């Protein structure tokens, strides 16, 4: 039966063959001001260095979205915001209330999307730009369609009305 907690065996217990008898642990004196601290030797060999470490593939830091981080930015940090993301989204939403802003949302959203593709940087507000751009396209298309349908309705109405007189 072995003793738990690393206690030394008593005289009654057999000791494993091939090992030194367990004695009191050896203690080191604390280091002085000029001596560096050294780990005590517990009878374990030092870890062998990997001879193939010098041939390990080099890995370059990546941004949060798997693209190389641009020059001057920290790796692994949060993605930056595109400066026009919020403006495009607001103009796209306002397009439902004031039709004049919808084409601006479409134009600025398309311009920002081209800038993002050209730079290769992943921005945290790309979804805002996409949503604002799509809202601008939809509202502009609905406005143009309503103008065309109103024009057709007016032409039909005037032609029918002129035929009765």
Comparing 63 with 128, which gets the higher pLDDT? 128
In a domain? residue 111:
yes
| Cα angle 102-89-99, degrees, rounded to a multiple of 5 | 20
Check residue 137 and give its pLDDT: 96
Model confidence pLDDT, tens digit, residues 113-140: 999 999 888 888 999 999 999 999 999 9
Model confidence pLDDT, tens digit, residues 6-42: 555 555 555 555 555 555 656 656 666 676 666 666 6
In a domain? residue 13:
no
In a domain? residue 135:
yes
In a domain? residue 20:
no
Check residue 53 and give its pLDDT: 58
| Tally of domains within the chain | 1
In a domain? residue 157:
no
**SS3 (DSSP) at 54:** helix
> How far is the C-alpha of 14 from the C-alpha of 143, rounded, in Å?
95
Residue 67 predicted with pLDDT over 80: no
Q: Over range 149-153, report the average pLDDT.
A: 96
DSSP letter at 136? Answer: H
In a domain? residue 95:
yes
Check residue 92 and give its pLDDT: 95
Model confidence pLDDT, tens digit, residues 72-120: 655 566 788 889 999 999 999 999 999 999 999 999 999 999 999 998 8
Interacting residues of 120 by C-beta distance below 8 A, sequence separation 6+ = 67, 70
Nearest CA among 87, 113, 101, 112 for reference residue 138 = 101
Q: Is the pTM of the predicted complex or chain greater than 0.85?
A: no
Check residue 135 and give its pLDDT: 96
> How far is the C-alpha of 83 from the C-alpha of 74, rounded, in Å?
19
Domain extent for 104: 85-140
Nearest CA among 97, 95, 85, 84 for reference residue 137 = 95
In a domain? residue 119:
yes
In a domain? residue 134:
yes
Nearest CA among 128, 151, 30 for reference residue 81 = 128
Check residue 121 and give its pLDDT: 86
Cα 162 to Cα 149, 154, 156: the distances in Å are: 20, 12, 10
């Amino acid at each position: 039966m072995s003793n738990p907690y690393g206690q030394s065996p008593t005289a009654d217990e057999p000791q494993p063959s091939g090992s030194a008898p367990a004695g009191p642990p050896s203690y080191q004196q604390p280091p002085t001001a000029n001596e560096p601290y050294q780990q005590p030797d517990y009878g374990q060999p030092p870890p062998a260095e990997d001879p193939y470490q010098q041939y390990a593939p080099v890995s370059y830091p990546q941004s949060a979205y798997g693209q190389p981080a641009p020059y001057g930015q920290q790796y692994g940090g949060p993605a930056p915001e595109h400066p026009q993301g919020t403006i495009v989204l607001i103009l796209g939403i306002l397009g439902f209330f004031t039709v004049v802003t919808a084409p601006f949302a479409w134009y600025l959203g398309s311009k920002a999307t081209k800038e993002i593709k050209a730079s290769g940087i992943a921005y945290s507000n790309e979804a805002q730009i996409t949503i604002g751009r799509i809202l601008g396209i939809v509202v502009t298309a609905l406005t143009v369609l309503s103008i065309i349908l109103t024009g057709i309705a007016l032409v039909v109405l005037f032609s029918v009305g002129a035929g009765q007189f």
